[in-house]
Amino acid sequence: MEVLEFNENLKFDENLILVLGYFDGLHRGHQALFKQAREIASVLNLKIAVLTFPEKPTIAFQKFEPDLLLKLTSDDKRAKLFAENGVDYLVFQDFTSKFAHQTSAEFTQNFVKKFNPKVVVTGFDYTTGSDMKNLKSSDDFKVVIVPELADKVGKISSTRIRDAVKAGNVAKANELLGYAYETRGRVVHGFARGRQLGYPTANLVIKDYVHIPAAGVYTVDVAINQKILRGFASIGYNDTFNNKEKTIEVHIFDFSEEIYGEELTILWLDKIRDMIKFDGIDSLIAQMKSDETTARNW
């Protein structure tokens, strides 16, 4: 997959299949679009391009709050997911005020046509331009609209997945994503209390602008050095010890390597419980033993 910045001189000599949208998380609804695009691409023997934005379009419209920059995946993972979904050209355009002020016709002329698309694939609720029109088929290209992928609650959407993650409902998020929600971090030193508890933990710092699940205790898999290992993790202020800083820590079962400075990825599988303020470490240890059984049996 080639990653490109859109600019006026960008020109493709070949015909392409163009897919449009922001695609936070590349969830099952988005995957349906790419499946459709791949089917058309293979019949017409064409490559697939995506025109998307590095950040959420809402930053051009709303009063800024740091949450607006948070995503469901790191930028690296996002690119990987586009590639896995069959994208050949991933093209980024900043979503600016000027971009937003274009009409649908201007967007078609200035952007869509630059891709020489034979077919443009969009979702059922996709609109373009300041006039918010649906893209229409023309002599130049055909528009294929993918119907809504929904479950009992309604449309599978990035918004629903963000809400599930923020509520700690990672199992629901995973069901809607079609893969396990993950967080990449680097292992740093904590208070070294974990050893005393019988559960040494890797404390993580997260540099990606991503949504972190709600405080609590979780069954996780940990991807480290090409291996996937089961563990359990906690997010929060370690209420028993009144920590001032929120920590994300993971204990990997049957693992005793020194991993300070290493990068690992936590795959959030299920929430076990909320964080509890215990009146002593013995009750915390007893609770963690029971959590361990839950996590191992998941």
Ligand X SMILES: Nc1ncnc2c1ncn2[C@@H]1O[C@H](COP(=O)(O)OP(=O)(O)OP(=O)(O)O)[C@@H](O)[C@H]1O
CB 19 within 8 A of CB 117: no
Q: Which is it for the CA torsion 108, 113, 114, 115, positive or negative?
A: positive
Which run of H or E residues covers position 79?
helix 75-84
Query: Is residue 241 a contact residue for ligand FMN (CB under 6 A)?
Result: yes
Query: Is residue 221 a contact residue for ligand FMN (CB under 6 A)?
Result: no
Candidates 1-9, 18-26, 59-67, 183-191; binding stretch for ligand X (CB under 6 A): 18-26
Buried b (16+ CB within 10 A) or exposed e, 71-93: bbbbeebbbebbeebbbbbbbbb
- The residue among 241, 201, 205 whose CA lies nearest residue 218 is 201
Q: Residue 249 catalytic?
A: yes
Selection from ligand X, ligand FMN, none that 119 binds (CB < 5 to 8 A by kind) is: none
User: Residue 276 Cβ, how far from ligand FMN at the closest point, in Å?
Assistant: 4
Selection from ligand X, ligand FMN, none that 149 binds (CB < 5 to 8 A by kind) is: ligand X
CB 241 within 8 A of CB 282: no
User: Residue 154 Cβ, how far from ligand X at the closest point, in Å?
Assistant: 9
Which residue from 31, 128, 174, 201 is in contact with ligand FMN, where contact means CB under 6 A?
201
| Catalytic-labelled residue, pool 39, 55, 148, 249 | 249
Question: ∠ CA(181), CA(203), CA(285), 5° rounding?
Answer: 95
User: Residue 282 Cβ, how far from ligand FMN at the closest point, in Å?
Assistant: 13
Query: Is residue 240 a contact residue for ligand X (CB under 6 A)?
Result: no
A 10 A CB-CB count for 195 gives 9
Query: Is residue 125 a contact residue for ligand X (CB under 6 A)?
Result: yes
Catalytic positions are 249
Contact residues toward ligand X (CB under 6 A) are: 20-24, 29-30, 32-33, 122-126, 146, 148-149, 155-159
